[in-house]
Structures are given as C-alpha cells and as structure tokens.
C-alpha cells in the first residue's frame, strides 16, 4: 500500500526566519563562521545507531543493492553513482524507471554532517533520507514489506543482520541504519582531504596564488562566506538565492508529470497545485509564503565532481554558478526566482572582474580533494528458504 | 456465510453418502444458466479498455493489467503462477477477469468482498502486482491528451485516480461470456451427459452453481501446494510481502498458502479458496488457485479421487467412482461452458499509446 509522509516543521521555520540579521554585502563580517578544516568537526553519530565496522560493511552492500527499491532495479547507488560524484550528472536525478525526478541528486559525500537532508530539509537524518528515497515514487518506489521480504531470502544478509542487529530476520528499519552508517564513513577527510583543508591546517603551499586570490573574493567582495561558511562550508540554512525554474518543465512531458505529482505528494492546497510553476522548496515544509523558493545551502566540498549545480541542476559548470551570483541571482537570460520578494537581500550584483571570477572558481576547486572511488561489491544472491524435503513434510502434515 | 455453508455441507454429506438420486438434489442449489445482461456505459467502458492495456498504469511502466490477464489466454495467464511485478514473482495463478463484473467476491482468497473499484485499486497499488503510486498514475493519465478527452467524454471531467477506478470496472463489465454452447442450448450429446454427471453423481453443483457456476464461497479441496512458491525466491518474496502486510502470524515459517484464513484468521479456514467460475476454462489452463493442475481431465480425476490431502478438507468431497465415459462427458460439459474468445477490438485496445508523454504546451501559463 502506498503511504505519504508529510513533514511539517513550523518551529524550525520560525527559527529560520530569525536567523539572519542584516549582513553587509560584499564583506566578511564577524557573523559567519570562518572556513575550517573538515576534520575539525566530527560526523554526528546518533546514539541509537553506533558505527561499527560490521554495520558499515553491511550498509555498503545495501547501498549498492538494487533490490532495495520497487522493481529491484534501483538502489541508492543508482542515483548516487560513485563515478558521478556519488550524485547523478544530469540536471534532474534519473528517477525510478518510468519517471524522472524533479530535483538534482546531491552527493552522499559529507552528507552525514548536514543537520537536515534533502534540498528542502525534509529529512532530519541520513536514516530518514534513505528511507524516504527508497520509498519515494520517483526515486526507489519500494515498499517496506517486499524489500524486507527480499532480504530474508538472501542468506548473506540474514547472517549479517543477525550479527549486527541480533534479529532473526533483517528488519527494514535497520536497513536505513546500516546504509547511514556506511554513508557516515564517506567523508573528505584523511587521504581525501582537500587542498583547502591542508592550507587551513598550516600548509601554506597547499593553495596556489590564484586560489588565494579567489579566497579573498570568496570571503570579501563575493560575499560567498555569508552562507558558505564553517568546516562544512555551508550554514545548512534555507535561502532563496534567485535560481530560476528548470526549463525542462516547459519542454518535457515526463518532467511535467513529476512536477504535478510532487505538488500533490507534498500536500499542496488545490490552489497551489493548480498554479505552481516552480519548486516552492522550503515552503512545502513550513507552509509559509516567505519560504517559497528557499533551499538549503549545499556544502561546497567535493563540488568538483558533482556537476550540475543548484537544487534543479540548471548550471553545468562552476563558472556558470559564479556568473549567476555575479549577476545578482539571474541566469544569462535574466531569469530569476518566481518569488523575488523572498530573495535573500544579500544577493546583489557583485561586479566581479573576469579575473576575480576565475580566481573564485579556482578557490572553489580547492575545496575538493581526490575523487572518492569505490568498486561496487558483488551482490549476495537469493536462495530458497526451505528445502523440497521440508515442503514435502509440510504437505504431508496438512 | 459460515452458517449456510455448514448447512449445505451436512445435507450434502448425507445425500452423497446414501446415494440418493442426485438430480433431485440439484434443485437445492441456484440453477446454472446464462449470465444476466449488464448495463454498460460505452464511453466509460471504452476508456477503461484503453487503461486496461496501458503499461503506464504500473510503477515502472513495464506491465499493464493485460500482462497477467491476456486476452489470448482467456484474460488469464498460462503460467501456473502469475508473473507479478518486475523484480518479483507471484504465489497464485492469475484468474480470468472474464465475468469478474458478475462476482461478489474477488481474489482466490476472497479478500476483496466489496466491489471491482476496490479490486482495481488493489491490483494497481500492491507492490508485488503493479506497484503503482496512484498519484503518479493520475498525473501520467493527465499528461495524455487522448485520456483527457476520453475522461471528459465519459462524464468524469478531469482524469483522476477515482475515475480510473470506475472506468476499468466499467470495461470489465464488457468481458462477459458470450455464445457458449451451454448458454445457446447447443451442447453435444457428450456434454449433455456430462451436465447430468455435473449435477448428479459428480456433485460438482454443490459448489459450482448459479450462472457463474460458482457459489463464491471458500472451500478446502486439498489442492497440493505449488512448491515453486517457496523454491523460487522471486515468488516467495511476493508471498512473504503479502502475508506480512496482511498480518498472517508466523509468515516467515509458512509453507502453505493460507487462503481464506487470510480473511478470518480462523484456523479452520486455512487452505480454503473461493470456488472459481467454470466459464472460459477452455482458455485459462492451468487450473486451481496455484495452477497445480494442467488439464480439465486432470481436474476431473482430482475430484474423482475425492480431492487432495488436507485434514481440513471439505466434507463435500468424496471419491466419486466415475467411469471413464462419465469423466470424458464431464470434460465435454466443462468445455461447453466456454464461449467466444474476446479478442477483437471490441474488447481489446488495439490503438497505439504515445511512445513519449506529450508536452503540455505553454506550460507556464496553463493551470496544472
């Protein structure tokens, strides 16, 4: 049976509206947290889902297992493909067969640091994100009962779940826990450290001259640091920065279907369903009109591998992103958010020179270290649960 | 229901035991005969027909209703176990949907006892059947201008989940048996003799009665389990998902199909299945809820031996002692209950579906 989960967080919405006071455009103020190495913060581990090597290993298998989905053809890695930055290299995520998604697939790398998952923050943990993605109609489209049933018929999983969780049979709720444990290990620390981290930890040779010039733009004239700050290089907050709707909704029938489905599924009013022509973002959670068009600031770590960018993937290069901000939140055709009244007041034309823009891109690239690659593990096979002799005996006993 | 079954059972047991003239007992059961005509709304049925054959009505757009209910196979499926949704299998035989509109209870285990609207919803949304999120289905349908027009013409207005669930049942009404030798009164001599066995010595009419040749009640006939349900993990996963969702105790340890027990959770209902209609059998092999019997001759022999082995088997079943000729006549009668194949475009949508969803032009300015 299909179920809908709606998340409403008016408390959070209220908190967020008061988060920002007047930031001075174009200058680093005392407000934003300074950039910091990623290993200066720790991945939050929920007390009810401790990280163990066995659990991480199990979660890795599950992450790559397409049987965690509706027709056994889509798993987490289907839209979070390691070779595509643990994301999906198209504007919209590919979606469940027969559908297309309506937002860009975000990288799993460093996702465990976020206090809330998804572009509109609709999941408060990796566990909830995994469940939501596996079950969502345009993502995994899996139902708990059949996914759990499949695991019971894979002896390797039965054994591993028993070892990790002590249950007789794998439970679907533990699937989300194990996948999250695996995801919490996918961080750009240690050998995947970015040049910026090395620099921030004292290796002054880690950044080029140009990157240092870009850093000055990032923290100064560009004002980027106002939202992209701290060790994760994001404030994890929600802002309308002026990203225009993806034109694909005007040109692609399949995308139009998903667009309306999302309005329906996210609990829009009848009026909202009829008139929405863009992604209303954080509004779907808060239902406050001033939250229309707001999305969570993404981390800039690992962006070298995760093009295209923005919640709807409309920009394919970092240069395009920088140009967008430089125009004050407009694309090259002058298109902007349908909710300009909600646009963050700090988004203004920046007046960056070509050199400054190049420097900025070079600096943003220093936020990505080596690519995290991973060989997909072999999937453990199904096996019958009963022998013919057992079935014969049951038949005789009827 | 339980009381009526029990009464019939005790009378019958006495009758069969004493060997009283069976034809006299036939009157105790609703007579077999032609099905009533159903009033059909043509525009709605036509819409339902297009929906029935449309693969876009399943989650991954890979199967339609007609994948498992194939017109060429009497709107059933020739495999013992229905194929199910991609990624899994199934644990029961796909029943014909011919005459489904005449029934009062659906599914082999009788779990839908309301109407075909609910049955349609069940088939579309169940994860191991069509796994369709109906909100996505609605938007897919709205994306196809031909549907938009057909829904409007049918008086449904804008396409919606609700009207899909009305239109398909309207179409199913058109799938009513037509021109069987039995209905036309043109049976062979052998079939006529078979009918006498059916009503008499065979005792078939005890459960297979009325125009559908089914009492639509659950009985345990002791059909052998289909081990493929459990030996093939694709089938077993559907079975586990189903029994888990239905709240069957110890679903992981189950080595048999609980049948009607699923509805009541009463032990004595374990292994009972709803009597199927005997119409259109010619096209719908294999037989029984799990497709375990391949031919009608084998089915007749199964009952001739008093059914299968089950401690809860219906007391109505006793060895029949039918002669070879009687068995042959009975099969002839069963075949005479099949009518014309419903394979012309009167019943089958033969039009094409768009390869891609058409774009809604001027999208920014039209109402969703």
Q: What burial class does residue B161 get, using C-beta atoms within 10 Å of its C-beta: 0-12 exposed, 13-18 middle, 19+ buried?
A: middle
B314 shares its domain with B259: yes
B304 shares its domain with B206: yes
Closest CA to A331 of A310, A345, A346: A310
Residue A31 binned pLDDT confidence (cut-offs 50, 70, 90): confident
Q: Phi and psi (nearest 5°) for A20?
A: -105, 125
Contacts of A98 in chain B (CB under 8 A): 56, 58-62
Length of chain B counted residue by residue: 368
**Most A CBs within 10 Å, among B67, B111, B122, B133, to test the A interface:** B133
User: Which residues are registered as beta bridge partners of A294?
Assistant: A281
Closest CA to A135 of A150, A146, A151: A146
The encoded tokens of residue A182 equal 């695996």
CA distance B299 to B7: 26
pLDDT of residue B12: 40
Shortest distance, CA B230 to any CA of chain A (angstroms): 7
Q: CA B59, B61, B63, B65: dihedral to nearest 10 degrees? A: 70
End-to-end CA distance of chain A: 31
Residues 6+ apart with CB under 8 A from A236: A114, A115, A116, A296, A297
Task: Check if the beta carbon of residue A273 is closer than 8 Å to that of residue B367.
Answer: no
- Across the interface, whether the CB atoms of B357 and A253 are under 8 A apart is answered yes
CB atoms within 10 A of CB A96: 29
Q: Which of A17-21, A36-40, A360-364 has the lowest mean pLDDT?
A: A17-21
B89 shares its domain with B235: no
CA distance A103 to A360: 26
B187 shares its domain with B331: yes
pLDDT of residue B25: 53
The encoded tokens of residue B222 equal 């002791």
Q: Write the secondary structure of chain B as one string of H (helix), E (strand) and C (coil).
A: CHHHHHHHHHHHHHHHHHCCCHHHHHCCCCCCCCCCCCCCCHHHHHHHHHHHCCHHHCCCCCCCHHHHCEHHHCCECCCCCCCCCCCCCCCCCCCCCCCHHHCCCECCCCCECCCHHHHHHHHHHCCCCCCCCHHHHHHHHHCCHHHHHHHHHCCCCCCCHHHHHHHHHHHHHHCCCCCCHHHHCCCCHHHHHHHHHHHCCCCHHHCCCCCCCCCCCEECCCCCCCCHHHHCHHHHHHHHHHHHHHCCCCCCCCCCCCECHHHHCCHHHCCEEECCCCCCHHHCCCECCCCCECCHHHHHHHHHCCCCCCCCCCCCCCCCCCCHHHHHHHHHHHHCCCCCCCCCCCCCCCCCCCCCCCCCCCHHHCCC
The encoded tokens of residue A300 equal 């800039």
CATH code of the domain containing B143: 1.10.760.10
The encoded tokens of residue A168 equal 């007789």
Average the pLDDT over A240-257 and give the result.
98
Shortest distance, CA A17 to any CA of chain B (angstroms): 29
What chain A residue is nearest to B84 in terms of C-alpha separation?
A71
The encoded tokens of residue B213 equal 């040749």
What chain A residue is nearest to B244 in terms of C-alpha separation?
A145
CA distance B148 to B154: 10
Closest CA to B26 of B232, B208, B169: B208
B189 shares its domain with B318: yes
pLDDT of residue A398: 92
pLDDT in tens, A113-155: 999 999 999 999 999 999 999 999 999 999 999 999 999 999 9
Dihedral sign of CA atoms B79, B82, B86, B89 in order: negative
CA distance A128 to A111: 13
Contacts of B135 in chain A (CB under 8 A): 2, 137, 261, 264-265
Catalogue the long-range contacts made by A316-325 (C-beta closer than 8 Å, 24 or more residues apart).
A318/A361, A318/A364, A318/A365, A319/A357, A319/A361, A322/A352, A322/A357, A322/A360, A322/A361, A322/A364, A323/A357, A324/A242, A324/A243, A325/A222, A325/A224, A325/A241, A325/A350
Q: What is the ipTM of this complex?
A: 0.91
What chain B residue is nearest to A69 in terms of C-alpha separation?
B87
B91 shares its domain with B47: yes
> What average pLDDT does chain A have?
93
Looking at the domain A10-39+194-248+288-365, which fold is it? Cytochrome Bc1 Complex; Chain D, domain 2 (1.10.760)
B76 shares its domain with B215: no
Residues 6+ apart with CB under 8 A from A62: A68, A75, A76, A175, A178, A179, A182
Partner-chain residue, chosen from A153, A249, A391, that has the shortest CB–CB distance to B255 = A391
Q: CA A211, A217, A222, A226: dihedral to nearest 10 degrees? A: 90
pLDDT of residue B28: 87
Q: Is residue B347 part of a domain?
A: no
B209 shares its domain with B166: no
Q: Is residue B124 part of a domain?
A: yes
CA distance A313 to A331: 13
Query: Does pLDDT of A15 surpass 80?
Result: no
pLDDT in tens, A324-337: 999 999 999 999 99
Domain that holds residue B23: 2-36+181-335
Q: What burial class does residue B36 get, using C-beta atoms within 10 Å of its C-beta: 0-12 exposed, 13-18 middle, 19+ buried?
A: exposed
- Across the interface, whether the CB atoms of A142 and B127 are under 8 A apart is answered yes
B77 shares its domain with B211: no
CA distance B189 to B196: 11
Q: Write the secondary structure of A74-130 as one string of H (helix), E (strand) and C (coil).
A: CCHHHHCEHHHCCECCCCCCCCCCCCCCCCCCCCCCCHHHCCCECCCCCECCHHHHH
Question: In chain B, how many domains are there?
Answer: 2
Closest CA to A102 of A278, A235, A309, A319: A278
What chain B residue is nearest to A99 in terms of C-alpha separation?
B60
Query: Does pLDDT of A253 surpass 50?
Result: yes
Q: Among B111, B145, B177, where does a domain finish?
A: B177
Residues 6+ apart with CB under 8 A from A382: A150, A153, A154, B233, B234
Contacts of B224 in chain A (CB under 8 A): 395
- Across the interface, whether the CB atoms of A2 and B360 are under 8 A apart is answered no
CA angle B95, B99, B105 (to 5 degrees): 70
Contacts of B54 in chain A (CB under 8 A): none
Q: Distance between alpha carbon A282 and the CA centroid of its chain, in Å?
A: 14
Domain coordinates of chain A in residue numbers? 10-39+194-248+288-365
Contacts of A273 in chain B (CB under 8 A): 368
User: Which residues are registered as beta bridge partners of B105?
Assistant: none
Q: Is residue B288 part of a domain?
A: yes
Contacts of A384 in chain B (CB under 8 A): 230-233, 236
Calculate what percentage of chain A has a pLDDT beyond 70. 92
B251 shares its domain with B297: yes
- Across the interface, whether the CB atoms of B236 and A137 are under 8 A apart is answered no
- Across the interface, whether the CB atoms of B368 and A275 are under 8 A apart is answered yes
B162 shares its domain with B212: no
The encoded tokens of residue B144 equal 């196809």
Contacts of A261 in chain B (CB under 8 A): 133, 135-136, 139
Q: Is residue B137 part of a domain?
A: yes
**Most A CBs within 10 Å, among B240, B248, B259, to test the A interface:** B240
Partner-chain residue, chosen from A97, A148, A169, that has the shortest CB–CB distance to B61 = A97
Partner-chain residue, chosen from A258, A385, A398, that has the shortest CB–CB distance to B311 = A398
**Cα Dmax for chain B:** 80
CA distance A137 to A141: 4
Q: Among B162, B177, B192, where does a domain finish?
A: B177
Query: Does pLDDT of A174 surpass 50?
Result: yes
The encoded tokens of residue A84 equal 């595509």
B208 shares its domain with B252: yes
Residues 6+ apart with CB under 8 A from B312: A398, B220, B268, B270, B271, B272
The pTM score is 0.91
pLDDT by residue, tens only, chain B of 368 residues: 333 333 333 444 433 333 334 444 557 899 999 999 999 999 999 999 999 999 999 999 999 999 999 999 999 999 999 999 999 999 999 999 999 999 999 999 999 999 999 999 999 999 999 999 999 999 999 999 999 999 999 999 999 999 999 999 999 999 999 999 999 999 999 999 999 999 999 999 999 999 999 999 999 999 999 999 999 999 999 999 999 999 999 999 999 999 999 999 999 999 999 999 999 999 999 999 999 999 999 999 999 999 999 999 999 999 999 999 999 999 999 999 999 999 999 999 999 999 999 999 999 999 99
């Amino acid at each position: 049976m299909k179920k809908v989960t709606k998340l409403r967080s008016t408390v959070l919405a209220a908190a967020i509206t008061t988060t920002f006071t007047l930031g001075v455009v174009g200058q680093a103020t005392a407000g934003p947290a300074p950039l910091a190495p990623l290993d200066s913060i720790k991945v939050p581990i929920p007390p009810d889902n401790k990280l163990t090597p066995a659990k991480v290993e199990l979660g890795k298998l599950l992450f790559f297992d397409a049987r965690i989905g509706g027709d056994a053809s889509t798993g987490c890695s289907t839209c979070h493909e390691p070779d595509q930055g643990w994301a999906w290299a198209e504007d919209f995520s590919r979606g469940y067969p027969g559908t297309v998604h309506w937002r860009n697939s975000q990288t799993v790398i460093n996702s465990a640091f976020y206090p809330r998952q998804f572009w509109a923050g609709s999941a408060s943990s990796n566990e909830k994100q995994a469940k939501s993605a596996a079950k969502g109609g345009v993502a995994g489209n899996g139902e708990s009962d059949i996914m759990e049933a499949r695991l019971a018929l894979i002896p390797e999983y039965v054994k591993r779940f028993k070892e990790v969780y002590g249950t007789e049979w794998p439970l679907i709720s533990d699937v989300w826990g194990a996948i999250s444990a695996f995801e919490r290990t996918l961080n750009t620390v240690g050998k995947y450290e970015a040049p910026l981290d090395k620099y921030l930890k004292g290796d002054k040779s880690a950044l080029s001259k140009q990157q240092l010039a870009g850093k000055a733009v990032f923290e100064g004239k560009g004002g980027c640091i106002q939202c992209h700050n701290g060790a994760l290089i994001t404030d994890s907050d929600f802002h309308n920065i002026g990203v225009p709707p993806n034109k694909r909704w005007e040109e692609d029938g399949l995308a139009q279907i998903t667009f309306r489905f999302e309005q329906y599924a996210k609990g829009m009013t009848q009026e909202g369903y009829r008139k929405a022509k863009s992604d209303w973002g954080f509004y779907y959670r808060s239902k406050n009109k001033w939250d229309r068009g707001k999305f969570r600031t993404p981390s800039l770590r690992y962006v070298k591998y995760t093009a295209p960018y923005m919640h709807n993937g409309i920009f394919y290069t970092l240069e395009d992103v920088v140009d967008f901000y430089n125009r004050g939140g407009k694309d090259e055709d002058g298109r902007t958010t349908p909710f300009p009244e909600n646009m963050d007041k700090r988004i203004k034309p920046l007046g960056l020179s070509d050199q400054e823009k190049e420097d900025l891109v070079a600096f943003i690239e220093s936020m990505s270290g080596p690519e995290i690659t991973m060989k997909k593990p072999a999937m453990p096979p199904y096996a019958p649960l009963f022998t013919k002799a057992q079935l014969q005996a049951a038949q005789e006993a009827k | 229901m339980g009381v009526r079954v029990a009464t019939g059972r005790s009378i019958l047991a006495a009758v069969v035991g004493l060997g009283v003239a069976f034809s006299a007992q036939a009157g105790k059961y609703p007579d077999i005969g032609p099905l009533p005509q159903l009033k059909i709304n043509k525009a709605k049925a036509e819409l339902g027909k297009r929906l029935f054959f449309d693969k876009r009505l399943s989650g991954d757009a890979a199967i339609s209703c007609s994948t498992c209910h194939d017109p060429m196979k009497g709107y059933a499926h020739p495999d013992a176990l229905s194929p199910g949704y991609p990624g899994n299998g199934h644990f029961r035989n796909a029943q014909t949907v011919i005459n489904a509109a005449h029934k009062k209870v659906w599914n082999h285990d009788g779990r839908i006892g309301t109407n075909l609207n609910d049955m349609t919803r069940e088939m579309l949304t169940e994860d191991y059947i069509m796994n369709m999120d109906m909100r996505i289905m609605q938007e897919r349908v709205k994306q196809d201008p031909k549907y938009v027009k057909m829904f409007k013409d049918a008086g449904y207005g804008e396409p919606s989940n609700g009207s899909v669930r009305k239109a398909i049942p309207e179409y199913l009404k058109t799938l009513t048996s037509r021109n069987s030798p039995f209905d036309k009164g043109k049976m062979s001599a052998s079939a006529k003799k078979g009918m006498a066995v059916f009503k008499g010595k065979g005792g078939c009419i005890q459960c297979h009665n009325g125009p559908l040749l089914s009492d639509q009640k659950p009985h345990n006939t002791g059909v052998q389990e289909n081990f493929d349900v459990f030996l093939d993990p694709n089938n077993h996963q559907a079975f586990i998902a189903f029994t888990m969702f239905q709240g069957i105790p110890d679903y992981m340890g189950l080595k048999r199909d609980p049948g009607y027990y699923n509805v009541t959770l009463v032990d004595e209902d374990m292994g009972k299945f709803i009597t199927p209609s005997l119409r259109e059998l010619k096209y719908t092999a294999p037989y029984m809820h799990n497709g375990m019997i391949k031919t009608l001759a084998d089915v007749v022999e199964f009952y001739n031996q008093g059914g299968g082995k089950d401690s809860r088997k219906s007391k109505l079943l006793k060895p029949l002692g039918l002669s070879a000729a009687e068995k042959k006549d009975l099969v002839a009668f069963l075949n005479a209950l099949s009518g014309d194949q419903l394979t012309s475009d009167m019943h089958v949508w033969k039009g094409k579906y768009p390869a891609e969803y058409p774009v809604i032009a001027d999208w920014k300015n039209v109402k969703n």
